Amino acid sequence: MNTKKEVHTMLNRFAFKLRIPDTEPGIRLIDAYPLRAELYSGDQLAQHARETAGLYRIDARKGHDRLIPRLADNEKILLETHDMLNAVIEENHRIAPAGEWLLDNFYLVEEQIRTAGRHLPEEYSKELPHLVNGPLEGFPQAYHIAIELIAHSDGRIDSDSLIAYIDAYQRVTPLLLGELWAIPIMFRLALIENLRRIADIISSNKRDRDAATHWVDRMIKVAKENPGSLILVIADMAQSNPP
């Protein structure tokens, strides 16, 4: 199979339009933080592809679909964050740069979600070989490839780097034709996953600021009206387990 030709065809068919806003580097893959890991050079990416190709067990039998439910959940979180940011703007409050980016580009985010839904039939997702173990257990092997490459390239992926990564991966674990054709949609899903994680952080930071404002206002009021009770307010705040 001419992998380079196949991947070029797929990239032309599913052009990536999103760039993820900057977040803190050095984030692990397994948790809810953005997909940021150690940045690798081209040679390091190829080595990483060969290592990850043999890292987990793969099951080619028909499995459960994990992608469509996750896409629906990601869409829900992104919509909730979008609405929250709009409410903050309407109150004439400032938002963080990542929040501004999400508002400005939300039409693109929605477009990517719709496209992902159209190109990911449930039965097709179930047919893809999936990981039997590891942090992405149950997810397709092709999705794991997308997650790893995005994390170690800061989301900056072109056709050459993608082809080199897949070629290196296949030196250890050959991919099925269906997996190769699934690669572009897997990258789209991984980018949406990353955006959802950024949206989670934006929402969490907003809740933290609201909580801080609440306790500051309460302490100021008590300090003015009944200073002797201030210690009780501080105790209440400590018991609320603030972030």
pLDDT digits (tens, 9 = 90+) for 30-69: 456 667 677 888 899 999 999 999 888 888 888 788 899 9
Whether residue 230 is contained in a domain is answered as no
Per-residue pLDDT, 213: 73
Whether residue 221 is contained in a domain is answered as no
Per-residue pLDDT, 8: 46
Per-residue pLDDT, 233: 65
Q: Please choose, from the candidates 148, 158, 156, 159, the residue with its C-alpha nearest in 3D space to the C-alpha of residue 186.
A: 148
Per-residue pLDDT, 214: 72
Could you list the residue range(s) of the whole structural domain that residue 122 is in?
Answer: 3-212
Q: Which residues of 101-132 are buried (b: 16+ CB within 10 A; e: fewer)?
A: bbeebbeebeebbebbeebbeeebbbbbbbbe
List, for residues 185-201, the tens digit of each pLDDT value.
999 999 999 999 999 88
Per-residue pLDDT, 33: 65
pTM: 0.76
Whether residue 114 is contained in a domain is answered as yes
Task: Kindly report the CATH number assigned to the domain that includes residue 194.
Answer: 3.90.1200
Per-residue pLDDT, 164: 92
Asked whether residue 97 carries a pLDDT value surpassing 60, the answer given is yes
Total of domains in the chain: 1
Computed over its alpha carbons, how large is the radius of gyration of the chain? 22
